[in-house]
Structure 1
Amino acid sequence: MNYIFDDQKKTVVPTTIVTNEETLKSLTHPLRARILTELVHESMYPLQLSRKIGIHEQNIYYHIRALERAGLIKKDKTEAKAGTIAQYYTATKTAYSFIPNFVKSTSTDIKFQEYQQVPEILKSFIKDGNINCKIIVGAPYPHGELNRVEKCGHLAGDIAATLGKYGSTLEKLTYLDTEIDDLRTNLIIVSGLYVNTAQKTVNENLPIRFNESGTKILSDFSKEEYSEPEIGFIVRVKNPIDKRFNIIVLAGIEMQGTMAAVYAFTRYFSRIESGNMFDKSAVAKVIQAIENKGQVVDVRFLE
């Protein structure tokens, strides 16, 4: 995929490089350009286009075939219309750029993340193309009040990869809970109550949280208590240690629940940002893993 970068507006548009004459002719042909514009807005069949544009249907067919050969439109659905099958077409919905052979490309150091729109949930965690937070996972050896061992530390890699779509950093990003004492920054805290001591520090300040023993998830929104091992939660709130910062908690009672929370976080930003079903202003979700042979393959949003 190629891209057009606007360095002033910090925007990026995907584009297809035009290399053949037929595509270029189709883009500059007035009637084909009109057909292409109509198909950008909705898929249509030739007779429908003929009526809308006011051109004979056979003429429309001729130009549709040319647009299809040029790769500017493609076949979409089919429907039964008046005893026949109508073939719908849709535009490929991309920008097109023509670069003559005599123009040579030059190498430049482009920080692609600066052009990516940062999801609302990650704002403050990503700033000016830089990752501005710390990921905290439990230590993989006995520690904490109950000498628990973390088994989900590898999930930090999935979180880091997701953050890397929108920013970068030269600083250390992932920490064990035994490595960090100062929590006064933006934090992404992963795992359960007694395997991540940072989670235990902030737990009472969360609208969805663990009970004191860490065996149930309690929701202030639904007043429900969840104890199934495949259930986890996602919460984004102000950092209770220092309100200038924010925290995201991805946690579950057991490993499956934590995996479900991380799975949802790395795939469903818009669903998470839509808020809790009982309070749309709260970025707080209860998640249930859908598993296949021990692997999380999708999730259900319970609230």
Structure 2
Amino acid sequence: MQLMLVDPQTRRLKGTVFVLKDFKQMRVLSHPIRWNIMKVLCESPLYPKELAKKLGIAEQLAYYHINHLKRSGLIKEVSKTRIRGGEASFYAPTADGIAVLFSEKEKAEALELGFLPFFLYDVIRYSHRIVLTLSSPEPHGPFMSRGRDHHLMGELLIRIGHVIDDPLKFEVKLDTMLTDSDLEESSLIILGGPLTNVISYKVNRKLPIHFDTYKGNIIVSTLSGKRYYEDECGIVEVVKNPYNPKLYLVLVAGKTLEGTRAAMKALLKKPAEISRGNFFQEDVIAHVVEGVDEDGDGIIDNAIILE
């Protein structure tokens, strides 16, 4: 079981922890080589030969300890690649750290923490009103576009409904219906980029990662200086509401519809990773993701985080 580790003062996510179930798992980590393997793999995934070289041990010995860690659930295979004609497996820790729970007093709450990205719990907890903003299906805005992404919001709405304390503070509106009062007095969850959502268009240039609508709606990151051109790329970011810095603005959007699908998949399937800060500036929760089709059916069903 994995849980999120949250700083009780800042309420920011510090990382994830793998909960040890019994003493046998703890004994696995008592070996100094395995302890060092965990520390090295926390920095970046490695394959056994590369890991052995980094630790200065025999490759066969590295395999031996990796197998012990795998069986205990402390590390996992994250990818495979061909190296010099052979296939190499890359390994990484299951979580950022380990923990021991002698009793689970708030089991239901612990399970819920993996249900949504942690920042959405803050939005729900500290906002007296939340407006989910969808693009109008009618031609509108400076680009006279139609919103076609409403169906992507279904699963997120179900999850929010599961944890929200007061359903009356949550409202769904089309972008063309929002008033100045909505913008100034509500936390905003915006679905769709500036080409289809006029609220997204208004705040676009104020975001750490934004779209360049004059250059094919490419994604531009002010955090890394990078630009992203693929149609399957999207953004998930949370910032202070530009109209009221005491509230929040969450953007889930893509270069195209497929990019928005990728952003939503990242939000739902990788809540822990999405809750962390950007690779290039850890105090900013803003990410670029790219959609992937894992089962080969032509539909994006997962996403990788590019930054």
| Residue in structure 2 matching 1:298, options 285, 288, 302 | 302
Aligned to 2:56: none
**Residue 207 in structure 1 maps to residue 205 in structure 2:** no
| Contact 1:139/1:150, CA 8 A, preserved across alignment | yes
When the two structures are superposed, what TM-score results if normalisation uses the length of structure 2? 0.60
CA distance in 1, matches of 2:109, 2:167: 14
| Contact 1:229/1:256, CA 8 A, preserved across alignment | yes
Shift of 1:238: 0.4
SS at match of 1:263: helix
Aligned to 1:183: 183
| Contact 1:218/1:226, CA 8 A, preserved across alignment | yes
SS at match of 1:165: helix
Q: How does 1:241-252 map to 2 (within 5 A)?
A: 241-252=243-254
Provide closer, same or farther for how the CA distance between residues 131 and 295 of structure 1 changes in structure 2, counting only shifts above 3 A: farther
Over residues 40-84 of structure 1, what are the superposed CA-to-partner deviations in whole Å (9 max), with x where a residue is unaligned?
74679xxxxxxxxxxxxxxxxxxxxxxxxxxxxxxxxxx99xxxx
Provide closer, same or farther for how the CA distance between residues 155 and 89 of structure 1 changes in structure 2, counting only shifts above 3 A: closer
CA distance in 1, matches of 2:72, 2:204: 53
Shift of 1:215: 1.5
Q: How does 1:127-166 map to 2 (within 5 A)?
A: 127=125, 132-166=129-163
Shift of 1:173: 2.8
Shift of 1:162: 2.5
Shift of 1:167: 1.6
CA distance in 2, matches of 1:301, 1:89: 27
| Contact 2:193/2:254, CA 8 A, preserved across alignment | yes
**Residue 192 in structure 1 maps to residue 215 in structure 2:** no
- Whichever residue aligns with residue 281 of structure 1, its letter is D
Q: How does 1:258-269 map to 2 (within 5 A)?
A: 258-269=260-271
- Could you tell me the percent identity over the aligned residues? 26
Shift of 1:139: 0.8
Greater helix proportion = 2
Higher RCO by CA contacts (8 Å cutoff, separation 6 or greater): 2
Q: 5+ unaligned residues in a row in structure 2: which ranges?
A: 1-20, 30-62, 65-70, 74-99
Shift of 1:216: 1.0
Q: 5+ unaligned residues in a row in structure 1: which ranges?
A: 1-35, 45-78, 81-87, 97-111
CA distance in 2, matches of 1:193, 1:89: 47
SS at match of 1:155: helix
Q: How does 1:80-91 map to 2 (within 5 A)?
A: none
CA distance in 1, matches of 2:72, 2:241: 51
Structural RMSD (CA):
3.3
Shift of 1:127: 1.8
Provide closer, same or farther for how the CA distance between residues 219 and 89 of structure 1 changes in structure 2, counting only shifts above 3 A: closer
